[in-house]
Amino acid sequence: MADLAHVLRHVPKTSPEQLLSGSDFADDAAVYRLSDDLALVQTVDFLTPIVDDPYTFGRIAAANALSDVYAVGGRPLTALNIVCFPIQMLDREVLAEILRGGADKVAEAGAAIVGGHTVDDSEPKYGLAVTGTVQPDRFVSAHGAQPGDTLVLTKPIGTGVIGTAIKGGHASQTDTRQAVRWMELLNRQAASAMLTAGAHACTDVTGFGLLGHLAEMARASGVSAEINVGAVPVLPGAVQHARNGHVPAGTHNNLGAVGKVVRFAEGTDDLDRLLLADPQTSGGLLVSISPDRVEAFRASMAEAGLAAVIGRIISGEPGRIFVKP
Count of beta carbons in the 10 Å neighbourhood of residue 146: 15
Report the residue number, 164 or 280, with the smaller CB distance to Co ion.
280
CA atoms within 13 A on the CB side of 287: 36
Q: How far is the CB of 91 from Co ion (least distance, A)?
A: 29
Q: How far is the CB of 151 from Co ion (least distance, A)?
A: 16
Report the residue number, 68 or 278, with the smaller CB distance to Co ion.
68
Report the residue number, 68 or 184, with the smaller CB distance to Co ion.
68
Q: How far is the CB of 203 from Co ion (least distance, A)?
A: 6
| Planar angle of CA 45, 47, 52, nearest 5 degrees | 145
DSSP string, 177-237: HHHHHHHTS-SHHHHHHHHHTT-SEEEE--TTHHHHHHHHHHHHHT-EEEEEGGGS-B-TT
Q: How far is the CB of 52 from Co ion (least distance, A)?
A: 23
Do strands 308-314 and 19-21 pair parallel, antiparallel, or not at all (unpaired)?
unpaired
Report the residue number, 28 or 272, with the smaller CB distance to Co ion.
28
Question: Taking a C-beta distance cutoff of 8 angstroms, is the pair 120, 87 a contact?
Answer: yes
Footprint on this chain of Co ion (rule: CB under 5 A): 28, 45, 68, 204
Report the residue number, 70 or 264, with the smaller CB distance to Co ion.
70
Report the residue number, 74 or 319, with the smaller CB distance to Co ion.
74
Question: Taking a C-beta distance cutoff of 8 angstroms, is the pair 155, 71 a contact?
Answer: no
Residue in 17, 25, 81, 90 with CA at minimum distance from that of residue 52: 90
Q: How far is the CB of 312 from Co ion (least distance, A)?
A: 21
Q: How far is the CB of 29 from Co ion (least distance, A)?
A: 7
Cα-Cα-Cα-Cα dihedral of 69, 182, 157, 170, to 10°? Answer: -130
Q: How far is the CB of 244 from Co ion (least distance, A)?
A: 29
Q: How far is the CB of 45 from Co ion (least distance, A)?
A: 4
C-alpha 287/C-alpha 249 separation (Å) is: 27
Report the residue number, 204 or 272, with the smaller CB distance to Co ion.
204
Report the residue number, 208 or 264, with the smaller CB distance to Co ion.
208
Question: Taking a C-beta distance cutoff of 8 angstroms, is the pair 306, 234 a contact?
Answer: no
Residue of this chain nearest to Co ion (CB atom): 28
Question: Taking a C-beta distance cutoff of 8 angstroms, is the pair 223, 145 a contact?
Answer: yes
Question: Taking a C-beta distance cutoff of 8 angstroms, is the pair 321, 218 a contact?
Answer: yes
